[in-house]
């Protein structure tokens, strides 16, 4: 058991390291001249610099020793929580992250919880419906929901609930009311995917022979669905939740922009607009870390919940 | 040892006749032309595609593609023509989507914007398809260490949330339609690699593939004639679905300001610029978005129909 | 006890009374509904054991499911009536059926491997059935569960009740399903194909046990099966179904000894084990001395079991011994049958001979060449002389290839023929397997299982091999189709002089075709010899047990 846990943790670190490296490669090695980008982000025109100034700049940004050296230094720093200094704001990147992270965390966590409840609840209720026509019509709904871009649904929600009905604020960072619309908007794409997958799974599970056994015992459809179908259909969703964390983080960028919220997402957007490379690298690294952590937890949790994996098969 | 030719087939009469009773009469007498199966294979599919939902979705998508290719045919007004007297008009019979703050017809701008948006999405799917399918086929068919290596690489790419990966690429290579296409393409590539690999693995172990190998077919021949043709179904479905995903992702990136510079219109930039007038003229941001939703939903429906056919 | 049964008897002595029942399946399209059951009338008395025999498509499963109200969503009772325990349930509501299921009628489903909820422990699954009755307080349910597990013959009931289904073997799971059926104290148990997923010796034990239990408790038993032998052994009365109708019914002795209907006669003829009175003495073949074409010499194969990645994964890797020093030979123009139950290693032996696996030790000689030493490239020329017919006809043909393309593929792979010559070769091959030439243009999905298997045989013969391996080629097919295919193989062997290595678990199939029989058990050769000797005068206890277990022997014939 310990071997398995250690193995998964080691794998997680490897993937995280790989993700960081890929992000580094994209941001520092892909551009033809990273020095120009870095200088422009800091507000300096490269043409105005003399040769000695250029050399000093190169030294300042750590570009003089070559890519590998710079990479190792950045990696070392990142492992210690030091992501360098923001080119546009001049403050340490870590402080920026620390400031914004809690807001994004609140948003993302509520969105994930909501999406699970919405997806599971919708699929369960629809699967339990007896009228075929209505069920077929409702089954199309998640597909529609997943066709909707998250920033558009945010604008629509603002239009209806903020400007139209006036129930909730259209922007803001403080308080529960300001969290409702953004969290719900962010939850929709994932909820749609969960609903689609679960509808399919409920339908598959319902055809399994053990459902016939359960009904032959005299259990009603509702009882069978609750006691036998639910666990078998929903269990695989755990892995899906882990994978959807990535989409939630991505969506947070757009939702924070639409609702004018403070957070890592808005930070990333501003950083890209101004090509503030260290900030972008840091945000990407942190997001990857969150993704890897959540999936690690899922991988460790799953065997505990699925008896087929937890216990080695024994034939008596 | 060549099989000996028969003079007359022998029919077994002591049990049921074979499932097709006319066969006894044809024994030794019939001779058939060997025909190509292509028609037979697609005949069933063509019949199933006559569903109303599918036809509707397909027509709309064709419309969108036409709009992207030849926008001039489908709009009345010039998308760049400003008109001070007609600014911020609500949708009406004259201006189907209303006008924006400079008096430009919004519908015309949406049609015009489809060119760049569709281009970006097509390029993204193209990149993902070529890269992802090659990796997936290599990984699934060859197996072993190559498979492990490629899949680790895919895991790493998947650990970077799609939009953030795109943001990193955009930071590095700049703004515009093509950078957006590349950025989005890299985000959906891992999905193609995984799906292709899963299908190749599934088909590889089927009895008829084994029979082909035992019949003397080389690995290459088996791959080309059995494995690939039977694996492409789910990949085609994914490509259609991801076309929609790419449209949304590209729109998101241009909404954030990283797409083509104004006055060029992409759907995302239209929605973003409409935001400033949301209180007074909500149609400016909502209607282009609705168009996107309709396009993506149509693509989803086509993909689902294809998937049902394939099953 | 018989006393309980007598006490339960009401004015009507029948537990099930079906009159003129017709069941239709409706499809999504507006096509006409398909009638699966046409005007069936039958009754089952209390304590009686009845068997319904039919092949696939006969409507027997539909009939059985209609008796417990578990028809598919698109199936409807079109006309007629069903009454259970004196109550009409033909158009009963779901709530009404909820009262009937489990209490009056119980079901033992077909495949024990998937009949239990994999994420729920055994105990609660049985307790659910007890709780439904509502007759006893919840406290006593645990004790009742243990009593039931003991009753169905599971060892260590307390331990089993806490386990999950995947921790039990197939036989044990089947017993649990029987326990669930018994828990509701039903008056009728419907056993749906109760043994098709299990080995023959296990089948026998479980059916014996079930028979004893229902006789003790006076429960009626309805067995739905495709196996005439099982029906004959276990039922007081047999009904033969074809295309939705009952074509014949009566006690087994009468049905087997003096069948009236053509279809019954055909079924009997197709199951050679039953066709001869008194046991499995079929006209087996002699094994005249002939040149040896293939020889297995002390072949052994070990597998390393994958280390479990779950909680308890310590220690050295376990090794599974699939084959242990197996030796036998095949002769030109004759058939060697390798017989064994699941886990005997017969499929492994086949795969080693074909070069798909390497043995841990030993050799396989084909004309004095060791096949196990060849790599893929060196093996290729031999593919023209050694071929395989696989088990599953539904996956043996590429669904996108026409029959023509499938059959000539080996010829194309070796580049032997082209154009018109290729076409005439295909026609010859199709004629040889007794299929009409029109089949060449069809896709596999348009063919039945038996036809697909013939195409697979034609493909295997395309290169004119001398040695043909057959891996359970008929086990996925109906009994009558099996017989046709075996006859075809026999004819081909005589015409072409091909040698067969025939792997099967079914002794009655083997008896019809083998010259030489090798009996495998858990990787070891238990017995081998000429077919007449192994079947008639076996020296091994295990072989005799296998022969005894073949259903169809218990009732004396007329």
Taken in order of first residue, the domains within chain A and their CATH numbers are: 100-273 (1.10.3720.10)
Q: Which residues of A touch C160 (CB under 8 A)?
A: 316
Mean pLDDT of the region A149-167: 90
- Is the CB of residue A180 less than 8 Å away from at least one CB of chain B? no
User: CB under 8 Å to C10, separation ≥6 — which residues?
Assistant: C85, C86
B1, B18, B230 ranked by CB distance to C466: nearest: B1
Asked if pLDDT for residue C2 goes beyond 60, the answer is no
Nearest alpha-carbon partner for C294 in C252, C264, C334, C236: C334
Mean pLDDT of the region C456-470: 94
Q: Do A307 and C180 make contact, defined as CB atoms within 8 angstroms?
A: no
Nearest alpha-carbon partner for A283 in A132, A109, A140, A84: A84
Banded pLDDT at C265 (limits 50, 70, 90):
confident
Q: Which residues of C touch A128 (CB under 8 A)?
A: none
Q: Are C215 and C183 in contact (CB under 8 A)?
A: no
pLDDT attached to residue B292? 94
Nearest alpha-carbon partner for C66 in C43, C90, C41: C90
Nearest residue on chain A to C106, judged by CA atoms?
A: A216
Ordered by where they begin, the domains of chain C are 2-104+186-271 (3.40.50.300), 397-464 (no CATH)
Q: Give this prediction's pTM.
A: 0.82
| B contact test, residue of C351, C354, C422, C436 with most B CBs within 10 A | C436
Round the average pLDDT of chain C to a whole number and report it. 85
pLDDT in tens, B294-305: 999 999 999 988
pLDDT attached to residue B23? 38
Mean pLDDT of the region A136-156: 90
Banded pLDDT at B13 (limits 50, 70, 90):
very low
Asked if pLDDT for residue C281 goes beyond 50, the answer is no
Rounded to a whole number of angstroms, the distance from the CA of C486 to the nearest CA of chain B is 11
User: What's the rounded Cα separation, in Å, for the pair C72 and B200?
Assistant: 34
Nearest residue on chain C to A7, judged by CA atoms?
A: C309
Strand order in the sheet with C369-370: C319-331, C292-304, C361-366, C369-370
pLDDT attached to residue A296? 92
pLDDT attached to residue C75? 87
Question: What is the SS3 assignment for chain A?
Answer: CHHHHHHHHHHHHHHHHHHHHHHHHHHHHCCCCHHHHHHHHCCCCHHHCCHHHHHHHHHHCCCCCCHHHHHHHHHHHHHCCCCCECCCCCCEHHHHHHHHHHHHHHHHHHHHHHHHHHHHHHHHHHHHCCCHHHHHHHHCHHHHHHCCCHHHHHHHHHHHHHHHCCCCCCCCCCCCHHHHHHHHHHHHHHHHHHHHHHHHHHHHHHCCHHHHHHHHCCCCHHHHHHHHHHHHHHCCHHHHHHHHHHHHHHHHHHHHHHHCCCCHHHHHHHHHHCCCHHHHHHHHHHHHHHHHHHHHHHHHHHHHHCHHHHCCCCCC
B20, B26, B32 ranked by CB distance to C440: nearest: B32
A22, A31, A281 ranked by CB distance to B173: nearest: A31
Q: Do A155 and B170 make contact, defined as CB atoms within 8 angstroms?
A: no
pLDDT attached to residue A280? 92
pLDDT attached to residue C194? 79
Kindly report the number of other CB atoms within 10 A of residue C420's CB atom. 9
Q: Do A151 and B158 make contact, defined as CB atoms within 8 angstroms?
A: no
Give the length of chain B: 311
Rounded to a whole number of angstroms, the distance from the CA of B43 to the nearest CA of chain C is 12
pLDDT attached to residue A55? 78
**What sign does the dihedral B136-B140-B142-B143 (CA atoms) show?**
positive
From the CA atom positions of chain C, what is the Rg in Å? Answer: 26
Mean pLDDT of the region A201-207: 91
Q: Report the range of poorest mean pLDDT among A247-251, C196-200, C220-224, C313-317.
A: C313-317
DSSP C415-476: T---HHHHHHHHHHHHHHTT--GGGGG--GGGS-HHHHHHHHHHHHHTT--SEEEEESTTTT
pLDDT in tens, B232-291: 888 999 999 999 999 999 999 999 999 888 777 889 999 998 888 888 888 888 999 999
Mean pLDDT of the region B178-198: 93
C325 in helix, strand or coil?
A: strand
C269, C384, C391 ranked by CB distance to B15: nearest: C269
User: What's the rounded Cα separation, in Å, for the pair C222 and C49?
Assistant: 6
Q: Which residues of C touch B207 (CB under 8 A)?
A: 390-392, 395-396
Nearest residue on chain C to B51, judged by CA atoms?
A: C29
C-alpha distance from residue A64 to each of A24, A55, A73, C356 (Å): 17, 8, 12, 57
Q: Show which of residues 233-272 on chain B sit within 8 Å of chain A, judged by CB atoms.
A: 244, 248, 251-252, 255-258, 271
Mean pLDDT of the region C13-36: 84
B248 in helix, strand or coil?
A: helix
DSSP C153-198: T-SSHHHHHTS-GGGS-HHHHHHHHHHHHHHT--SEEEEESTTTTS
Mean pLDDT of the region A239-264: 91
Banded pLDDT at C5 (limits 50, 70, 90):
very low
Nearest residue on chain B to C414, judged by CA atoms?
A: B216
User: What's the rounded Cα separation, in Å, for the pair B304 and B302?
Assistant: 5
- Six token digits for residue B121: 């999405």
User: What's the rounded Cα separation, in Å, for the pair B265 and B177?
Assistant: 11
Q: Are C103 and C181 in contact (CB under 8 A)?
A: no
pLDDT attached to residue C398? 93
| ipTM for the predicted complex | 0.87
Asked if pLDDT for residue C288 goes beyond 80, the answer is no
Neighbouring subunits of C (3+ Cβ pairs under 8 A): A, B
Q: Show which of residues 291-310 on chain B sit within 8 Å of chain A, judged by CB atoms.
A: 292-293, 296-297, 299-301, 304
Q: Do C155 and A209 make contact, defined as CB atoms within 8 angstroms?
A: no
User: What's the rounded Cα separation, in Å, for the pair C154 and C146?
Assistant: 10
- Is the CB of residue B17 less than 8 Å away from at least one CB of chain C? no
Neighbouring subunits of B (3+ Cβ pairs under 8 A): A, C
pLDDT attached to residue C411? 93
Rounded to a whole number of angstroms, the distance from the CA of C402 to the nearest CA of chain B is 6
Asked if pLDDT for residue C109 goes beyond 90, the answer is no
Mean pLDDT of the region A209-228: 91
Question: What is the SS3 assignment for C492-555?
Answer: HHHHHCCEEEEEECCHHHHHHHCCEEEEEECCEEEEEEEHHHHHHCCCCHHHHHHHHHCCCCCC
Q: Do C429 and B22 make contact, defined as CB atoms within 8 angstroms?
A: no
Round the average pLDDT of chain B to a whole number and report it. 83
Highest mean pLDDT among A51-60, A137-146, C262-271: A137-146
Asked if pLDDT for residue B28 goes beyond 60, the answer is no
User: What's the rounded Cα separation, in Å, for the pair B165 and B171?
Assistant: 10
Asked if pLDDT for residue B161 goes beyond 70, the answer is yes
pLDDT attached to residue C307? 55
Quote the Cα angle for A280-A270-B127, to 5°. 60
Banded pLDDT at C461 (limits 50, 70, 90):
very high
C-alpha distance from residue A157 to each of A152, A169, B136, B273 (Å): 8, 10, 40, 18
User: What's the rounded Cα separation, in Å, for the pair B256 and B207?
Assistant: 51
Interface of A with C (CB under 8 A): 1, 3-4, 7, 208-210, 212-221, 227-228, 231-232, 235, 303, 306-316
User: What's the rounded Cα separation, in Å, for the pair B196 and B151?
Assistant: 12
pLDDT attached to residue C284? 63
Asked if pLDDT for residue B17 goes beyond 50, the answer is no
pLDDT attached to residue B22? 36
Share of chain B above pLDDT 90, in %: 44
pLDDT attached to residue C371? 87
Q: Which residues of B touch C497 (CB under 8 A)?
A: 1
User: What's the rounded Cα separation, in Å, for the pair C461 and C148?
Assistant: 54
User: What's the rounded Cα separation, in Å, for the pair C313 and C296?
Assistant: 36
Q: Which residues of A touch B279 (CB under 8 A)?
A: 163
Alpha carbon B286 to chain centroid, angstroms: 25
Q: Are A235 and A305 in contact (CB under 8 A)?
A: yes
Q: Are C245 and C39 in contact (CB under 8 A)?
A: yes
Q: Are C514 and C286 in contact (CB under 8 A)?
A: no
Asked if pLDDT for residue B75 goes beyond 90, the answer is no
pLDDT in tens, A53-82: 777 777 777 776 777 888 888 888 888 888
User: What's the rounded Cα separation, in Å, for the pair C102 and C106?
Assistant: 5
Q: Are A245 and A291 in contact (CB under 8 A)?
A: yes
Banded pLDDT at C10 (limits 50, 70, 90):
very low
By CB neighbour count within 10 A (0-12 exposed, 13-18 middle, 19+ buried), where does C302 fall? Answer: middle
Asked if pLDDT for residue B76 goes beyond 80, the answer is no
């Amino acid at each position: 058991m310990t071997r398995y846990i250690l193995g998964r943790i080691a794998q997680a670190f490897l993937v995280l390291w790989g993700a960081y490296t890929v992000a580094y490669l994209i941001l520092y090695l892909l551009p033809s001249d990273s020095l120009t980008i870095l200088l422009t982000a800091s507000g300096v025109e490269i043409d105005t610099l003399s040769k000695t100034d250029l050399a000093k700049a190169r030294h300042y940004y750590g570009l003089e020793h070559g890519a590998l050296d710079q990479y190792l230094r950045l990696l070392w720093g990142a492992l210690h929580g030091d992501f360098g200094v923001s080119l546009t704001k001049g403050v340490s990147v870590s402080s920026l992250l620390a400031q914004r992270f809690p807001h994004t965390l609140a948003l993302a966590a509520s969105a994930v919880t909501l999406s699970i409840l919405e997806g599971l609840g919708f699929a369960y209720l629809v699967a339990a419906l007896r009228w075929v026509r209505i069920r077929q019509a409702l089954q199309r709904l998640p597909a529609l929901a997943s066709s909707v871009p998250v920033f558009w649904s945010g604008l629509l929600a603002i239009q209806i609930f903020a400007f139209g009905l006036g129930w909730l604020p259209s922007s803001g960072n403080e308080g529960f009311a300001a969290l409702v619309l953004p969290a719900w908007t962010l939850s929709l794409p994932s909820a749609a995917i969960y609903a689609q997958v679960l509808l399919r799974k409920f339908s598959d599970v319902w055809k399994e022979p053990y459902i016939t056994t359960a009904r032959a015992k005299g259990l009603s459809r509702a009882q069978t669905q609750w006691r036998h179908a639910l666990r078998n259909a929903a269990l695989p969703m755990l892995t899906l939740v882990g994978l959807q964390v990535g989409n939630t983080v991505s969506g947070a960028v757009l939702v924070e922009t639409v609702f004018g919220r403070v957070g890592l997402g808005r930070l990333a957007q501003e950083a890209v607009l101004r090509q503030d490379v260290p900030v972008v690298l840091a945000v990407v690294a942190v997001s990857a870390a969150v993704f890897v952590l959540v999936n690690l937890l899922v991988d460790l949790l799953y065997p505990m919940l699925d008896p087929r994996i937890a216990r080695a098969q024994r034939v008596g | 040892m060549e099989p000996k030719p028969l003079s007359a087939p022998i029919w077994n009469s002591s049990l049921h006749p074979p499932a097709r009773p006319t066969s006894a009469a044809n024994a030794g007498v019939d001779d058939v032309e060997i025909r190509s199966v292509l028609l037979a294979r697609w005949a069933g599919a063509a019949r199933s595609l006559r569903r109303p939902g599918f036809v509707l979705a397909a027509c709309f998508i064709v419309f969108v593609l036409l709009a992207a290719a030849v926008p001039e045919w489908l709009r009345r007004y010039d998308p760049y023509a400003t008109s001070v007297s007609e600014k911020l008009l609500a949708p009406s019979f004259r201006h189907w989507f209303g006008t924006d703050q400079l008096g430009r017809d919004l519908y015309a701008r949406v049609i015009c914007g489809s060119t760049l948006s569709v281009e970006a999405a097509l390029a993204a799917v193209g990149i993902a398809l070529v890269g992802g399918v090659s990796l997936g086929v290599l990984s699934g068919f060859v197996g072993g260490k190559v498979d492990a290596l490629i899949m680790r690489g895919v895991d790493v790419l998947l650990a970077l949330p799609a939009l953030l990966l795109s943001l990193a690429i955009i930071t590095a290579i700049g703004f515009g339609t093509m950078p957006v296409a590349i950025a989005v393409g890299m985000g959906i590539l891992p999905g193609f690699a995984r799906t292709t690999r899963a299908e190749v693995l599934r088909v590889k172990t089927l009895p008829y593939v084994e029979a082909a190998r035992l019949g003397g077919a080389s690995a290459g021949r088996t791959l080309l004639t059995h494995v690939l043709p039977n694996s492409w179904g789910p990949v085609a479905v994914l490509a259609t679905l991801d076309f929609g995903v790419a449209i949304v992702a590209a729109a998101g990136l241009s909404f954030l300001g990283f797409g083509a510079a104004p006055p060029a219109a992409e759907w995302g930039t239209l929605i973003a610029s409409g935001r400033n007038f949301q209180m007074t003229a909500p149609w400016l941001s909502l209607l282009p978005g609705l168009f996107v939703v309709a396009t993506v939903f149509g693509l989803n429906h086509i993909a689902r129909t294809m998937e049902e056919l394939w099953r | 006890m018989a006393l309980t049964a007598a006490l339960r008897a009401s004015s009507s002595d029948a537990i099930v009374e079906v009159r003129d029942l017709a069941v239709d399946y409706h499809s999504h399209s507006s096509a006409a509904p398909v009638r699966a059951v046409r005007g069936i009338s039958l009754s089952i008395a209390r304590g009686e054991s009845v068997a319904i025999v039919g092949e696939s498509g006969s409507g027997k499963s539909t009939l059985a499911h209609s008796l417990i109200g578990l028809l598919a969503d698109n199936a409807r009772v079109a006309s007629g009536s069903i009454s259970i325990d004196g109550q009409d349930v033909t158009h009963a509501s779901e709530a009404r059926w909820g009262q009937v299921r489990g209490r009056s009628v119980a079901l033992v489903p077909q495949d024990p491997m998937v009949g239990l909820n994999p994420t729920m422990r055994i105990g609660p699954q049985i307790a659910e059935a007890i709780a439904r009755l509502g007759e006893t307080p919840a406290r006593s349910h645990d004790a009742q569960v243990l009593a039931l597990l003991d009753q169905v013959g599971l060892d260590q009931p307390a331990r089993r009740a806490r386990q999950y289904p995947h921790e039990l073997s197939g036989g044990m799971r089947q017993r649990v399903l029987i326990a669930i059926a018994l828990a509701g104290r039903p008056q009728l148990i419907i056993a749906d194909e109760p043994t098709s997923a299990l080995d023959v010796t296990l089948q026998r034990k479980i059916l014996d046990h079930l028979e004893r239990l229902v006789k003790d408790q006076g429960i009626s038993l309805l067995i739905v099966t495709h196996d005439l032998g099982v029906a004959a052994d276990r039922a007081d009365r047999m009904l033969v179904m074809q295309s939705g109708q009952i074509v014949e019914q009566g006690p087994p002795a009468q049905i087997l000894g003096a069948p009236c209907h053509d279809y019954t006669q055909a079924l009997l003829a197709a199951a050679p084990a039953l066709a001869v009175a008194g046991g499995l003495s079929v006209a087996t073949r002699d094994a005249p001395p002939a040149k040896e074409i293939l020889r297995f010499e002390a072949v052994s194969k070990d597998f390393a079991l994958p280390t479990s990645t779950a909680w308890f994964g310590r220690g050295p890797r376990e090794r599974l011994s699939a084959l242990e020093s197996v030796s036998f030979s095949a002769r030109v123009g004759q058939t060697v049958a390798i017989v064994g139950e699941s886990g005997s290693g017969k499929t492994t032996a086949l795969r080693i001979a074909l070069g798909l696996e390497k043995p841990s030790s030993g050799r396989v000689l084909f004309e004095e060449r060791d096949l196990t030493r060849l790599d893929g490239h060196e093996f290729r020329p031999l593919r023209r002389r050694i071929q395989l017919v696989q088990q599953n006809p539904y996956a043996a043909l590429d669904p996108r290839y026409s029959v023509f393309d499938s059959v000539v593929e080996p010829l194309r792979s070796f580049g032997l023929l082209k154009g018109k010559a290729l076409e005439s070769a295909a026609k010859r091959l199709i004629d040889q397997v007794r299929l009409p030439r029109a089949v060449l243009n069809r896709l596999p999905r348009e063919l039945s299982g038996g036809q697909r298997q013939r195409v697979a045989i034609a493909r295997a013969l395309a290169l004119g091999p001398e040695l043909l391996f057959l891996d359970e080629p008929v086990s996925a097919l109906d009994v009558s189709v099996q017989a046709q295919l075996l006859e075809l193989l026999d004819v081909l062997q005589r015409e072409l002089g091909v040698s067969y290595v025939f792997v099967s678990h079914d002794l009655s199939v083997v008896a019809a075709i083998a010259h030489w029989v090798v009996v495998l058990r858990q990787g070891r050769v238990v017995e081998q010899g000429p077919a007449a000797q192994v079947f008639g005068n076996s020296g091994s206890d295990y072989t005799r047990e296998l022969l005894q277990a073949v259903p169809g022997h218990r009732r004396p014939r007329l």
